[in-house]
Structure formats: structure tokens, C-alpha cells
Amino acid sequence: MLNEPGAVVESYADIIAIHMAKLYESDKMTSDWIIGGDYNSGFRNFSSPHEFDQPAVFEDKFYVASVDSSVSLLNDNGGVHINSGILNYFSYCLLEPSDIMDGEEAFTLDKSLDTWFELLYMSNNQTDISDVAHYIMLSARLNNCSEGNTKLLERLIENHGLISGNGDESLKDSDSKPYSINIFFEDESMSDTIAI
């Protein structure tokens, strides 16, 4: 897969897996939101995506813009495994928000899992991150989430830039820089850097 639809599929797999591990207290995944932590230091951290070079929100450090298939292999098919950090972090914030505004309520593990699982039925191989934002609101209603859950969901969708594509500056790493690829040829006059 390519670009955002690929990142969405990666996120779904991560999100469902970590929910199931937490729900059933699996010894195959640690309780500190790190995937792969039992085999080595891990390779994805839901609570701190920057730790493994993933963005927390759109246009954040490590964010990879969409590309066409001609350069897809040079940047993880348009950030398929990298940009999955956006939805992973979003799902973490639904369960463990850093701040709760008046009238908001964090999701329970069961309610969150039901809400994400419902998205599997709504999505297809062209679902992008803004689609996920719309679908998760519908899924929350279908799963009878509380009004407080809905308020939190709406705020996080806006703050994380899931629809607008512009995440809250306070959630971005201040050392943000565009993803780039250095290409070097034997003839130095042809060497270039492609910013993506």
C-alpha cells in the first residue's frame, strides 16, 4: 500500500494489537504502550512517537508527505510505517489524555477497542486519515459512547489535525524538519537532495 491508506492499515493493526494485549494482559507486549518492547527496545511507542522517529501529528517532525509510486520505495511508500504514529498517538490520547477539558471523558479500554474495531468494517484500501476521523465519530455513536467521550474525540480530531491536516503546534516537536532523501551519483554534479 501507499501513502495515507497504507499508514491507516498499519495503525489499525497496531491499535487493535495493543488494545488486545492490554485487555488480556499479554506478556508479548509491555504495558507501557511500546510495540516490540519484549523483543528489543521496541519499534513504535504510542505515548511518545518521536522516540522511534514517528510523527505525533500532521506536519510534525518525521512526517512524510504523500508521493507517487515512482519514488515510493525511497520513503517507506509515502510514510506507511512512519505516519502510522499519528493515529497510534491519537488512539493513546483517547485512553490517556494529557488534559481533560470540562465535560470530556476518557475512553475505557473496552469502549475504545469496540470503536476502533468498528472502523475495520467501514474502511477500505483507499481510506485516508481524514476518513478515519469521520468514521470514528460514527463508530462512537454506533457504540453508544458517552457525550464526554464524543467531546474528547472531537477536540482530539481537531488538535491532531486528522481532518484539517494541520496539527496543533504544541503537539509538534519544536525541532521539526521535512523528510528528505539524499541521492548521490558518481558524477557529483548530478547529486541532489529531494525534500518530500
Each of the 196 residues of the chain gets a pLDDT tens digit; together they read 889 999 999 999 999 989 988 888 765 555 578 887 666 667 889 999 999 999 999 888 898 888 877 766 667 888 899 999 999 999 999 999 988 999 999 999 999 999 999 999 999 999 999 999 999 999 999 999 999 999 999 999 999 999 988 877 888 775 544 444 444 445 555 444 444 3
d(Cα 136, Cα 142) in Å, to the nearest integer? Answer: 10
Cell representation of residue 116: 476502533
d(Cα 158, Cα 142) in Å, to the nearest integer? Answer: 21
Burial category of 136 from C-beta neighbours within 10 Å (exposed 0-12, middle 13-18, buried 19 and up):
buried
Q: What is the pLDDT of residue 179?
A: 42
Please say whether the beta carbons of 189 and 181 come within 8 A. Answer: no
What 3-state class would DSSP assign to 114?
Answer: helix
Please name which of 141, 120, 142 lies closest in space to residue 131, comparing C-alpha atoms.
120
Q: What is the pLDDT of residue 100?
A: 92
Q: What is the pLDDT of residue 133?
A: 96
Q: Residue 150: enclosing H or E segment and its boundaries?
A: helix 147-159
